Amino acid sequence: MKIKLFVLVIALTCSLTGRAQGSEEQFYKELALKSLEIETLSGSFTQTKEFRSLDVKVVSKGTFRYARNREMHFDYTVPYEMGIVVNDLTVKITSRGKTNTYPLRDQRNAMVEMALIMNYCMKGLLHELKARYNLAYASEGPDHRVTVSHLKDDPTSAFDRIDLKFAREHFALEEMVISEKSGYVTTYVFSGLAVNIVR
């Protein structure tokens, strides 16, 4: 009797694990397929930056646009104007008339790493980040959630983790929370999405 019960528990555990892995694999597959359909994507964002030990929040707003196989733009309008342009090789940040360009590879800047991860999200290639990061997937209610963290503790890395929330219905990235080692937590909320599908 005990052996039968043990075998039943093992079978149920394996079954549930298989389903969980299947849903994760299915998510990455669907994300890639949906992304292939997108020619352009645009909308608005709200960015809230806060420091864990202080009761201070700075809210920024703006618009973003993404063109497949070209680049992604973030145009901040509040509290001041700033532009960020991301392509496969660089991140270009323009603020107060000055432009700085950073390579996407081998950077420890939180903004650059965030841009790299967003670029992979938009292209539907999030699963490819597994070569550089740990990806923890969870399916919660109307959302798919992926937590991105470093494969090993690296004192030179800028962030502890990045939490991504995707809508279950259309796989759009709705929220991104960046927890930096410095204590800053930056939350991006995306809304008003307009999608142009490949014809």
pLDDT tens profile 155-171: 777 788 999 999 887 78
pLDDT tens profile 58-102: 999 999 999 988 889 999 999 999 999 988 888 899 999 999 998
Provide the pLDDT for residue 82: 96
pTM: 0.81
pLDDT tens profile 103-152: 877 666 677 778 888 888 888 999 999 988 999 999 878 899 999 998 88
Residue 42, pLDDT > 90, answer yes
Query: Comparing C-alpha atoms, which of 143, 125, 110, 76 is closest to residue 85?
Result: 76
154 or 40: whose pLDDT is higher?
A: 40
Where does 2-79+118-197 sit in CATH, by number? 2.50.20.10
Label residue 9 by pLDDT band (50, 70, 90): very low
196 or 140: whose pLDDT is higher?
A: 196
Residue 17, pLDDT > 50, answer no
Label residue 181 by pLDDT band (50, 70, 90): confident
Provide the pLDDT for residue 117: 87
Residue owning tokens 């759009």: 172
Provide the pLDDT for residue 108: 65
**Residue 157 β-bridge partners:** none
Domain map of the chain by residue range?
Answer: 2-79+118-197
What gap in Å lies between CA 35 and CA 23, rounded to an integer? 18
Provide the pLDDT for residue 198: 80
Provide the pLDDT for residue 115: 81
For residues 158 and 166, the answer to whether their CB atoms sit within 8 Å is no
Task: Count CA within 13 A, CB hemisphere, residue 4.
Answer: 1
Query: Comparing C-alpha atoms, which of 122, 166, 164, 163 is closest to residue 143?
Result: 166
Provide the pLDDT for residue 8: 31
CA distances (Å), origin 180, targets 5, 108, 113: 46, 11, 11
Provide the pLDDT for residue 106: 66
What gap in Å lies between CA 20 and CA 109, rounded to an integer? 33
What does the pLDDT average to over 37-58?
89
